[in-house]
Structure 1
Amino acid sequence: MIQLSHLSADLVAPRAADLSGLLAAGAHLARAAAGWVMVVSVDADWRARALHRELQVRDVPVEFGGSGGVLQLRTAPTAAVDRLAEHWAGGRMLPDGFVPGPGALRCWTLAAGRPDRPGFRLGLDPAAPQLHIGLAAACAELGLAASLLGGSATDPALRIVGRRRLDRLADLVGTPPPGCPPGEFPGSPSSR
């Protein structure tokens, strides 16, 4: 029997601020005539569908399409995305005291999480190396101390290892989304 923490993404109400996890994963903010939009690129249909759902439950209109194996989700301009752009200085600066909540960590994992034996990696934006150390510190605040991989140029990520940390990650991000291949999401049968 699995017992969920009271801090699991499955049990915490979704908030628009959770979309900060997408910025941690490398989503980009762009100025539009009516406000800011967020663009997220992913490499798998299950990721696009799961993120589409995460955006919808947070009342952020989104459409997705793509080509060449890359799927893109693009939000409509909303007050929620405008607030993120303000707090993240257009996606270029980590807000003071930022610690991702369970929903933000779930969004980050859906967008850029990968199994990496013996652990799990959370992808980072290679175009925003100024965020990497701060995001590592924010994960440590959650009990998810991680190693920074890849530097700023090649496939940067935070690697989380250790049974206790991986269990904590699985607990925080909640259950795998529908259509997720076994082992691709923390806590799924072959990810342990």
Structure 2
Amino acid sequence: MDQISFFSAEASGPRLADLAGVLCGRGQIVSFGRTAARLSVAVAEVWRAKSLATEFARRGVQADVLRTEDGEPLVRTAFRADLIALANAWRPREEKELPTGFRLTGGALRMWALAAGCPAQRHYLLAVDEDAPGTHALLADSLRQLGLPAQVVGPRGGGPAIRVTGRRRLATLEELIGSPPPAAAAVWPVRPESGSAA
């Protein structure tokens, strides 16, 4: 597990690039001219919004917890010059795209899990953006590059989402994203007890 630990969120420490994790799900980024960009993500629960705002702050980015027009909790930054590179990479055109050569890190995966992760029986689901279907298979490939074979599932499988299945893979996922904030404990992947079968 030494190689996995190298890529974990706790080993790498918080980085601005980790914010790409919310774009793996429903997150959106818009630019203002070519000088600044604003990142936002609607989530299902208030605790997710508060936890994400805390994680943003750890990366030097102030974010407000608001509500969408539909009443969903929303995390949103101001327009910031340090987010323009993220905007250029993820929205080179109108539709959100996975950047060429994108590689997930433990930190980005942690942000994705906080925004849109949920256990489902013996699986863990990471919700993806249904309005950006071109990203789904590429995100599953990015997980495989981290040693996490994963599958794209549709609504019948609890999606649209990327599904991680298997005790060893769930243990790897848990190690990559690090310890949960207290409010997230119930939806965090659980490391199996030692000696459990895969």
Aligned counterparts of 2:134 and 2:27: Cα–Cα separation in 1:
15
Report the Cα offset of residue 18 of structure 1: 0.6
Match of residue 127, structure 1, among 126, 131, 144:
131
Alignment partner for residue 117 of structure 1, among 117, 121, 144? 121
Q: Which of 179, 186, 189 is the aligned partner of 2:189?
A: 186
Aligned to 1:150: 154
Displacement, 1:171?
A: 0.2
Alignment match, 1:62 = 63
- CA distance in 2 between counterparts of 1:96 and 1:180 reads 31
Are 2:49 and 2:75, in contact at CA under 8 Å, matched by a contact in 1? yes
State the distance in 1 between where 2:109 and 2:38 align.
Answer: 20
99-108 vs 64-73, which moves further: 64-73
Q: For the residues of structure 2 that align with 1:79 and 1:188, how far apart are their CA atoms? A: 39
Write the mapping of 1:64-103 to structure 2, written as runs, cut at 5 A: 64-66=65-67, 70-90=72-92, 92-103=96-107
Deviations 1:146-188 (A, max 9, x none): 111117xx84100000111100000000001122253x11127
Q: Paired residues, what number?
A: 184
**1:99 touches 1:138 (CA, 8 Å); kept in 2?**
yes
Q: How far is the alpha carbon of 1:69 from its aligned partner?
A: 5.3
Query: In the alignment, which residue of structure 1 is the partner of 2:170?
Result: 166
Structure 2 partner of 1:16: 16
Larger CA deviation: 92-101 vs 16-25: 92-101
Which residue type is aligned with residue 151 of structure 2? S
When the two structures are superposed, what TM-score results if normalisation uses the length of structure 1? Answer: 0.87
Cα distance in 1 between the residues matched to 2:98 and 2:129: 13
Specify every segment of 5 or more residues in structure 2 that has no aligned partner in the other structure, as ranges.
none
Mapped partners of 1:31, 1:13: distance in 2: 27
1:138 aligns with 2:139: no
The answer to whether residue 45 in structure 2 is matched with residue 44 in structure 1 is yes
Partner Cα distance (2:140, 2:81) in 1? 28
Q: Which amino acid aligns with 1:149?
A: V
CA contact (8 A) 1:116 1:159 kept: no
In structure 2, distance between residues paired with 1:119 and 1:69: 29
More deviation, 129-138/90-99: 90-99
Q: CA deviation at 1:104?
A: 0.1
Instruction: Give the alignment's Cα RMSD to 1 decimal.
Output: 2.2
Equivalent residues of 2:61, 2:77 under 8 A apart: yes
